Structure 1
Amino acid sequence: MTAPAFIKEEHAIFRKSLKKFLQKEAAPYYDQWEKERMIPRSFWIKAGREGFLCPWVDEEFGGLNADFGYTAIANEEMEKIGSSLIGFGLHSDITVPYINEYGTRGQKQRWLPGCVSGDIIAAIAMTEPGAGSDLAGIQTSAVREGSCYRLNGQKTFITNGIHADIVLVVCKTNPNAVPAHKGISLLVVEKDTVGFHKGKKLDKVGLHAQDTAELFFEDAMVPAENLLGEEGKGFYYLMKMLQQERLLAGICAQASAERILELTTSYVKEREAFGNPISKLQTIQFRLAEMATEVQIGRSFLSEAIQDHMEGKDAVQKVSMAKWWLTDMAKRVAGEGMQLHGGYGYMEEYEVARRYRDIPVMAIYAGTNEIMKSIIAKRMGL
Structure 2
Amino acid sequence: MQDAPLSHAAAARHVLGALRSAFDVATVALAGRCSGPGGRLSGERLDAHQVASFELAWAGAELLAAETGLALLHEESSGLDVRLALLFASDAAAAVLARLDAIFLDLGLELAPLRAVRDDPRWDALRLAASGAEALAATGRAVAAADGEVGSYPLDEAHAMAQDSFRRFSTEVVAPQAEAIHRGNLTIPEQLLQPLREMGVFGLSVPGRFGGSAPDDGEDSLLMVLVTEALSEGSLAAAGSLITRPEILARALMTGGTPEQQARWLPGLARGEPLCAIAITEPDHGSDVAGLTLRGTRVPGGWRLRGAKTWCTFAGKAGVLMVVARTDPDRSLGHKGLSLLLVEKPSFDGHDFVFRQETGGTLSGRAIPTIGYRGMHSFDLSFEDFFVPDANVVGGGAGLGQGFYFTMAGMVGGRMQTAARACGVMRAALKAAIRYGEDRKVFGQALVEYPLTLAKLARMGARLAACRQLACEVARRVDRGDGRMEASLVKLLACRSAETVTREALQLHGGMGYAEETAVSRYFVDARVLSIFEGAEETLALKVVARSLMERALGLAPAAA
Q: Is the 8 A contact 1:90 1:123 kept in 2?
A: no
SS at match of 1:20: helix
Give the AA of the match of 2:224.
T
Query: In the comparison of the two structures, how many residue pairs are matched?
Result: 380
Q: CA deviation at 1:199?
A: 1.6
Q: Note closer, same or farther for the CA distance 1:308–1:189 as it changes in structure 2 (3 Å cut).
A: same
Corresponding residue for residue 323 of structure 1? 491
Corresponding residue for residue 334 of structure 2? 180
Corresponding residue for residue 27 of structure 1? 175
> 2:540 matched to 1:372?
yes
Q: CA deviation at 1:2?
A: 5.4
- Root-mean-square deviation (CA, aligned residues, Å) is 1.9
Corresponding residue for residue 13 of structure 1? 161
Q: How does 1:110-121 map to 2 (within 5 A)?
A: 110-121=264-275
SS at match of 1:207: coil
Q: Note closer, same or farther for the CA distance 1:204–1:68 as it changes in structure 2 (3 Å cut).
A: same
> 2:509 matched to 1:355?
no
Q: Is the 8 A contact 2:418 2:491 kept in 1?
A: yes
Pick aligned residue for 1:131 from 274, 281, 285: 285
Q: Note closer, same or farther for the CA distance 1:86–1:23 as it changes in structure 2 (3 Å cut).
A: closer
Pick the structure with more helix per residue.
2
Corresponding residue for residue 454 of structure 2? 285
Corresponding residue for residue 364 of structure 2? 198
Q: CA deviation at 1:238?
A: 2.1
- More displaced, 337-346 or 169-178? 169-178
Cα deviations by residue, 1:163-185 (Å, 9 ceiling, x for unpaired): 01000100000020533111000
Give the AA of the match of 1:204.
T
Pick aligned residue for 2:389 from 200, 213, 223: 223
Pick aligned residue for 1:210 from 354, 366, 376: 376
Q: Note closer, same or farther for the CA distance 1:317–1:99 as it changes in structure 2 (3 Å cut).
A: closer
Give the AA of the match of 2:468.
R
Q: Note closer, same or farther for the CA distance 1:151–1:239 as it changes in structure 2 (3 Å cut).
A: same
Q: Note closer, same or farther for the CA distance 1:14–1:380 as it changes in structure 2 (3 Å cut).
A: closer
Corresponding residue for residue 136 of structure 2? none
Q: How does 1:235-314 map to 2 (within 5 A)?
A: 235-313=404-482
SS at match of 2:550: coil
Q: CA deviation at 1:159?
A: 0.8
When normalised by structure 2's length, the TM-score is 0.65
- More displaced, 234-243 or 125-134? 234-243
Q: CA deviation at 1:111?
A: 2.0
Q: Is the 8 A contact 1:246 1:319 kept in 2?
A: yes
Partner Cα separation in structure 2 for residue 163 and residue 155 of structure 1? 16
> 2:504 matched to 1:336?
yes
Q: CA deviation at 1:237?
A: 1.7
Q: Note closer, same or farther for the CA distance 1:42–1:293 as it changes in structure 2 (3 Å cut).
A: closer
Partner Cα separation in structure 1 for residue 440 and residue 221 of structure 2? 40
Partner Cα separation in structure 2 for residue 22 and residue 380 of structure 1? 37
Gaps of 5+ in 2: 1-149, 347-355, 552-561
Give the AA of the match of 2:291.
G
Q: Is the 8 A contact 2:232 2:241 kept in 1?
A: no
Q: Is the 8 A contact 1:269 1:277 kept in 2?
A: yes
Q: Note closer, same or farther for the CA distance 1:3–1:311 as it changes in structure 2 (3 Å cut).
A: farther
Corresponding residue for residue 79 of structure 1? 232
Q: Is the 8 A contact 2:303 2:389 kept in 1?
A: yes
Q: CA deviation at 1:153?
A: 1.1
Q: CA deviation at 1:355?
A: 0.4
How much identity, in percent, do the aligned residues show? Answer: 29
Give the AA of the match of 1:165.
G
Q: Is the 8 A contact 1:324 1:369 kept in 2?
A: yes
Q: Note closer, same or farther for the CA distance 1:377–1:302 as it changes in structure 2 (3 Å cut).
A: same
Give the AA of the match of 2:529.
V
Gaps of 5+ in 1: none
SS at match of 1:161: coil
> 2:197 matched to 1:48?
yes
Q: Is the 8 A contact 2:246 2:275 kept in 1?
A: no
Cα deviations by residue, 1:269-316 (Å, 9 ceiling, x for unpaired): 111012110112112222222222222222232232222112111x23
Q: Note closer, same or farther for the CA distance 1:160–1:96 as it changes in structure 2 (3 Å cut).
A: farther
- Whose RCO is larger (CA < 8 A, sep 6+)? 2
- More displaced, 216-225 or 85-94? 85-94
Give the AA of the match of 1:306.
A
Cα deviations by residue, 1:205-225 (Å, 9 ceiling, x for unpaired): 101212211222111111011
Q: Is the 8 A contact 1:139 1:172 kept in 2?
A: yes
